[in-house]
Amino acid sequence: MRIVVTGGAGFIGSHLTDALINQGHKVVVIDNFITGSRKNLEHLKDSDHLMIVEHDITKPIYLAEKIDRIYHLASPASPIDYQKLPIQTLKVGALGTHNILGMAKNHNARILLASTSEVYGDPEEHPQKETYWGHVNPIGPRGCYDESKRFAEAIVVAYRDYHKVDTRIIRIFNTYGPRMRLNDGRVVPAFISQILHQHDITIFGDGSQTRSFCYVSDLVRGIMGVMEAGDQNPINLGNPSEITIKEFAEKVISITGSESKLVYQPLPVDDPQRRRPDITRAREIVGWEPKISLEEGLINTLKWAKENV
């Protein structure tokens, strides 16, 4: 097939691009490189199965050759990025998604929206099911990202119902692995970067808040599975194994043999206290669940990070 991946130079997008090309598909990556990196695709530079289009999808784009599938991943995704780029984040969720849905409609292509667990906000339901509507502060520091994804889901459903576009929606929970930017502010690269630079590890709050970490290869397998499944309603993709931030920091220290200590800072505004997906739908519809253990995934990520610091 000929497949478009928006945000294909990003962390998850580049791994997805690898997997699609490995299956023999031709991939068109559309990226404006605001947060993505050409380095993530450098190993594919000689592939005749990859075309890179540098473009801001908040502006209209037309591709003449037939497209079969669209994976819409484009968006700043880390707190540092979307708080630095709040308007761009809102525009890519709204205008960008609108433009890419137009492309899907024009080509009669199936489109998958990469949404986020952030649509649940600081959840009052635990674990989070897809039926949960969320607990989101639209004017808080995370609002630009949360609401851009909530709007994106709404317009995808509108195009599905009004224009009969063939759509899929996934909600991605915390994902980690090689190619994460070590300065993007998310917990896994932050801890790894601090340890590799022999700094103490910064924990916000008392460390009792929880996250569920999914390795990137597991996530990509889930994304591709949902695209080819028949269900058009949102599907959570993430690891249901929950761990506190303090426990996670201690695990990273143990794996690396680091002498870093834990230091504590005030908790950011609207930082979710608990985050864990209910993946019942992913199991039933796609037959998907994570396979890579946290320890194995961290060892792989650390190996990559040591070579790229």
Q: Kindly list the catalytic residues.
A: 145
Any alpha helices (H) in 164-244, and if so which ranges? 187-196, 216-228
CA atoms within 13 A of residue 116's CA, in its CB half-sphere = 27
Residue 277 sits at φ, ψ, to 5 deg, of -85, 145
Residue 121 burial (CB count, 10 A): 23
- 3-class secondary structure, 262: strand
Give the whole-angstrom CA distance, residue 3 versus residue 20: 8
Query: To which residue do tokens 């608990």 refer?
Result: 274
Give the whole-angstrom CA distance, residue 169 versus residue 157: 9
Listed residue (81, 92, 86) closest to 6, CA to CA: 92
